[in-house]
Amino acid sequence: MRVIYVFDTYCGWCYGFESVFSKFLKNHPEISLEMYSGGLFVGGETIKASMLEHVKESNARITRYYGVPFGDTYERQLAAGNLKMDSVKPAIAFALVREMLPKTQWGEFIYEVQRAFYIDGKDLNEPEIFVDIARNLGVDADKYASELKSNWDNKTLAEDDFKKSDSFGVESFPTLLIEVDGKYHNLLSGANTVEKLEQNFRNYSQLGEGDTAPSCKIDGSGC
């Protein structure tokens, strides 16, 4: 069964959903999973002072919906305008680790990367962060570090994912689709817990065409 997940590391709603999705994947090794970075922020952006209250309000909604925390260090960095967001580097890191991790751990890797950002306020332009996370998940850290070093400026790895995301007509993150008989169904609707996601998965054939879930739009709205 084919499942397609498109996310972005700097999407707060993806951070919330990843806490659910990473657990869901462990229960379903049978899924034919495709997982792509979406490219929400490309070129390096910081949260402007005028956007600060909006971001804080959005983060509060994410916490209420998914129960995930935002750390004090992240909050201080956010207020100081020190958080530079560029989706390219995390996308490169994921494209490389995707070849080294079982599919059931892909979600866990991204969730830990997002926790490094949203809890610890770490700069995801530093490859060592990804290496440490991969090591903790059982990846050969030396091999992964070597691949990162060789490809850290290889934007093609990220752009290939962004193009794949576009090919599915993705307009917001996260997007989670299941393909059945050539048709795509939305698995995200109301799935703020593993149990609800499991229910959606079991009942995918009954999902309505208009089901939606909180998300970050490509134009930056909704985040």
Amino acid in position 123 = D
- Among residues 19, 21, 10, which one has the least CA distance to residue 88? 10
Using a 10 angstrom Cβ sphere, with 0-12 exposed, 13-18 middle and 19 or more buried, the burial of residue 30 is exposed
What is the pLDDT averaged over residues 25-39? 95
Q: Kindly report, residue by residue over 108-162, the tens digit of the pLDDT.
A: 999 999 999 999 999 999 999 999 999 999 999 999 999 999 999 999 999 999 9
Whether the per-residue pLDDT at 209 is higher than 50: the answer is no
How is residue 187 annotated by DSSP?
A: -
What is the rounded distance in angstroms from the CA atom of residue 177 to the CA atom of residue 180?
A: 10
Q: What is the mean pLDDT of residues 54-78?
A: 95
Q: Which DSSP symbol is given to 36?
A: E
CA distances to 66, 171, 204 from 214, rounded to whole Å, are: 11, 12, 19
Res 84 pLDDT > 90: no
Q: How many CB atoms lie within 10 A of CB 37?
A: 29
How confident is the model at residue 206, as a pLDDT? Answer: 54
Task: Give the HSE-up count for residue 207: Cα atoms under 13 Å, Cβ half-sphere.
Answer: 28
**91-118 residue pLDDT tens:** 999 999 999 999 999 999 999 999 999 9
> What is residue 171's predicted lDDT score, i.e. its pLDDT?
86
